[in-house]
């Protein structure tokens, strides 16, 4: 793993909100690198700056100062237009509350990012969306709307949407926060499988159980990076099998 | 291009009632524009048709009203029989000529009666005004000279007084005076204003002057030229003849009007055109108001869908994509409103043509302009909401509740 090139490199990253005397310093000189193929869990209490970090890593926000290189590109220097292209090509987002559009079917939700890629025909869009949903084992739910799906299914649709453009990095903001333990483990199983297939995953969580499934753990407190440790990941599938029988999940993962 | 359109339709279909109400302004505006323009154009076409049914080479001479004359008695000098004779003898370009003096009265045959106008004319009047005798014979110059109490009945009058029976040779009374019916005219139909051209009785001019009006004046003199090109020359001749007959000094202005149906047609056409243009301009204002309604609803829609915009930005949409999405939605709204308006406007024109019995033709140009203007309104008023949507910060937008 160590010989893989860094895909994310941040150095002395600072983010300050507000004016001088009432300024909130959300990130104070955070530096780390993530190599391709890593599964990183960013931990920290609320207010520790982990959401701010994810927004900056996700090219949704710009740091006040510091360096951020994504695949070697100097992100703070890029135009808004190029940042959108980076989000489209290189990054995939998974949110705590899924963020599916309620009016659209599962398939249409997954097709969404492809609308912003030039030269993709509607046939290719449909095909790629169906492939992505098939990887999430949702081939039988293509035409369902989000309200007709369980929480776990909705999150899997959201992951399919994040994957449909074949990103290099998956950014997940508390992906299991709105799910029960079993469904959460199912989602983690999927993320681990994607990571084994070569996808870099950066996951934000405040739950130790969830962080235990990562191969590396970053710990934030009050905007400082206070811990950075490589660990042996717990296999989510084994944990899933170990769960007591009675809270049977409605859908097999 | 298809996908964004479908997306826009989906978004609008999610709020059907709201979308329909938003379109209302545009629907009403376009309906008015299309209906007004088409009814106006048809009206103009109808007037042209009416005028040619009256006779396009026709010129009529009437006294001129002069409000500036010092003596009130001299403000208006009626035409007399001598003036008609002056035209007859001193204007070589005149092909046909007939004075006209009218009398409105009651025509009776036994217990049947009808109120209508009697026109006192010369035999040439039939040719001048494109009247034809369907049965019987027209009266002659001898009848005019001899003040014969004879008449020709229009179809409507003949039907009213005689039912299905032949009126030829029968006696009718016009305001109590007996007249022999010589013939019945072929029907000509109604004019634009609904005036029935067949509700008419023709009698010799001298007879009407002597027995009905009791004066020696005529109201108007109808003249035709042999060819249209000679009309200006003929007008000059007529003016000179009347000046001579009225013994006008060289420094006096003409005391008659010489009007040309072609000129009148142009004038009426201008009036209808300006009326149509004015009303259409008012209708365009309703389109503007509709545009403001669209802007309002698009602003609401942007606020409602802040989270959707945030998500789209997060998964890779550029500002341009968001701008276009909302702009297309606004244009679809106004464009659909325009299409519906065209349908309603065409329906209204069709209804008008049924009621007024005009041939209303849908002008393609009016349809294209109305839809194009409507879509342009969508672009203009959709731009600001779409711009606001595209400027949203994705992080705030995603957190929006």
Nearest alpha-carbon partner for B389 in B314, B316, B325, B295: B325
Return the pLDDT at B55. 65
Q: Does the structure show a pLDDT above 70 at B54?
A: no
Return the pLDDT at A1. 47
pLDDT tens by residue, A31-82: 999 999 999 999 998 888 898 999 999 999 999 999 999 998 999 999 989 9
Strand order in the sheet with A65-70: A24-35, A6-17, A65-70, A73-74
Q: Nearest C-alpha of chain B: how many angstroms from A58?
A: 8
What is the pLDDT of chain B when averaged over all its residues?
88
pLDDT tens by residue, A88-118: 999 999 999 999 999 889 999 999 999 999 8
Q: What is the mean pLDDT of residues B241-263?
A: 85
Provide the percentage of residues in chain A whose pLDDT is more than 90. Answer: 70
Domain ranges of chain B: 2-50+266-399, 78-254
A60 contact B CB<8A:
yes
Q: Does the structure show a pLDDT above 60 at B328?
A: yes
pLDDT band at residue B304, thresholds of 50, 70 and 90?
A: very high
Q: In this structure, what token pair is assigned to residue B303? A: 């606020």
Beta-carbon separation of B315 and A161 below 8 A: yes
Write the CA distances from A200 to A40, A71, A187, A225, B314, integer angstroms.
Answer: 8, 12, 16, 20, 18
pLDDT band at residue B192, thresholds of 50, 70 and 90?
A: low
Query: Which tops the pLDDT comparison, B66 or B327?
Result: B327
Domain ranges of chain A: 1-90+167-253, 99-166
Q: Does the structure show a pLDDT above 80 at A10?
A: yes
Q: Does the structure show a pLDDT above 60 at B212?
A: yes
Q: In this structure, what token pair is assigned to residue A22? A: 């009432």
A58 contact B CB<8A:
yes
CATH ID of A1-90+167-253, from 3.40.50.150, 1.10.40.60, 1.10.10.10, 3.40.50.300: 3.40.50.300
A122 contact B CB<8A:
yes
Q: What is the mean pLDDT of residues A13-24?
A: 85
Largest separation between any pair of C-alpha atoms in chain A: 56
Q: In this structure, what token pair is assigned to residue A188? A: 């983690």
Nearest alpha-carbon partner for B138 in B123, B119, B159, B154: B123
Give the predicted TM-score (pTM) of the model: 0.73
A88 contact B CB<8A:
yes
ipTM of this predicted structure:
0.90
pLDDT band at residue B164, thresholds of 50, 70 and 90?
A: confident
Write the CA distances from B165 to A116, B109, B176, integer angstroms.
Answer: 84, 12, 22
What is the pLDDT of chain A when averaged over all its residues?
90
Q: Nearest C-alpha of chain B: how many angstroms from A228?
A: 27
Closest chain A residue to B320, measured at CA: A81
Q: In this structure, what token pair is assigned to residue B319? A: 């500002």
Lowest-confidence segment of A4-18, A204-218, B47-61, B161-175 by average pLDDT: B47-61
Closest chain B residue to A90, measured at CA: B316
Beta-carbon separation of A101 and B318 below 8 A: no
Q: Nearest C-alpha of chain A: how many angstroms from B36?
A: 41
3-class state of residue B7 by DSSP? helix
Provide the percentage of residues in chain B whose pLDDT is more than 70. Answer: 98
∠ at Cα B100 (B99, B106), nearest 5°? 155
């Amino acid at each position: 793993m160590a010989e893989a090139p860094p895909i994310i490199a941040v150095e002395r990253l600072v983010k300050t909100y507000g004016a001088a005397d009432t300024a909130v310093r959300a990130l104070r000189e955070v530096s780390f690198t993530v190599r391709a193929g890593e599964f990183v869990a960013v931990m920290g209490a609320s207010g520790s700056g982990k959401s701010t970090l994810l927004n900056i890593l996700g090219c949704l926000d710009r740091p006040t100062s510091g360096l951020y290189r994504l695949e070697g590109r100097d992100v703070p220097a890029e135009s808004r237009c190029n940042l959108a292209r980076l989000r489209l090509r290189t990054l995939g987002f998974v949110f705590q509350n899924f963020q599916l559009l309620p009016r659209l079917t599962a398939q249409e939700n997954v097709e969404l990012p492809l609308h912003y890629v030039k030269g993709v025909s509607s046939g290719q869009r449909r095909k790629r969306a169906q492939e992505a949903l098939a990887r999430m084992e949702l081939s039988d739910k293509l035409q369902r709307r989000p309200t007709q799906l369980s929480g776990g299914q909705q999150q899997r649709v959201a992951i399919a949407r994040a994957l449909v453009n074949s990103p290099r990095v998956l950014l997940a903001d508390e992906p299991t926060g709105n799910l029960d333990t079993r469904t959460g483990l199912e989602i983690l199983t999927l993320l681990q499988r994607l990571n084994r297939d070569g996808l870099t995953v950066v996951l934000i969580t405040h739950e130790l159980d969830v962080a235990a499934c990562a191969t590396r753990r970053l710990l934030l407190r009050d905007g400082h990076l206070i811990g950075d440790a490589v660990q042996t990941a717990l296999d989510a599938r084994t944990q899933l099998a170990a769960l007591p029988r009675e809270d049977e999940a409605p859908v097999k993962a | 291009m298809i996908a964004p359109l479908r997306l826009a339709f989906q978004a609008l279909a999610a709020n059907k009632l709201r979308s329909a109400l938003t379109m209302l302004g545009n629907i009403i505006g376009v309906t008015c524009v299309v209906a007004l323009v088409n009814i106006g154009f048809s009206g103009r076409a109808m007037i042209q048709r009416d005028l040619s049914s009256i006779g396009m080479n026709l010129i009529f001479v009437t006294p001129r009203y002069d409000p500036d004359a010092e003596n009130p008695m001299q403000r208006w000098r009626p035409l007399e029989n001598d003036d008609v004779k002056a035209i007859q003898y001193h204007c070589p370009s005149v092909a046909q000529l007939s004075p006209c003096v009218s009398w409105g009265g009651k025509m009776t045959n036994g217990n049947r009666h009808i109120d209508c106008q009697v026109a006192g004319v010369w035999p040439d009047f039939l040719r001048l005004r494109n009247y034809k005798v369907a049965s019987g014979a027209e009266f002659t110059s001898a009848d005019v000279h001899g003040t014969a109490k004879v008449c020709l009945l229009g179809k409507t009058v003949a039907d009213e007084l005689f039912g299905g029976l032949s009126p030829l040779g029968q006696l009718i009374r016009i305001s109590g005076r007996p007249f022999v019916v010589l013939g019945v005219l072929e029907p000509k139909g109604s004019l634009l204003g609904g005036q029935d051209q067949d509700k008419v009785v023709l009698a010799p001019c001298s007879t009407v002057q002597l027995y009905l009006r009791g004066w020696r004046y005529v109201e108007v003199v109808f003249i035709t030229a042999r060819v249209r090109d000679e009309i200006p020359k003929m007008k000059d001749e007529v003016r000179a003849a009347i000046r001579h007959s009225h013994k006008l000094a060289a420094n006096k202005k003409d005391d008659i009007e010489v009007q040309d149906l072609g000129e009148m047609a142009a004038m009426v056409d201008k009036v209808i055109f300006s009326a149509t243009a004015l009303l259409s301009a008012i209708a365009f204002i309703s389109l503007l108001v509709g545009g403001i309604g669209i802007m309002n609803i698009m602003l609401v829609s942007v606020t409602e869908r802040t989270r959707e915009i945030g998500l789209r930005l997060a998964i890779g949409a550029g500002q341009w994509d968001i701008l276009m999405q909302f702009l297309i939605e606004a244009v679809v709204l106004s464009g659909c409103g325009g299409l519906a308006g065209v349908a309603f406007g065409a329906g209204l024109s069709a209804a008008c043509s049924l009621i007024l019995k005009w041939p209303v033709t849908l002008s393609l140009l009016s349809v294209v302009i109305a839809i194009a203007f409507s879509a342009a309104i969508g672009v203009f008023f959709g731009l600001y909401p779409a711009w606001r949507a595209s400027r949203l910060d994705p992080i705030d937008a995603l957190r929006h509740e």
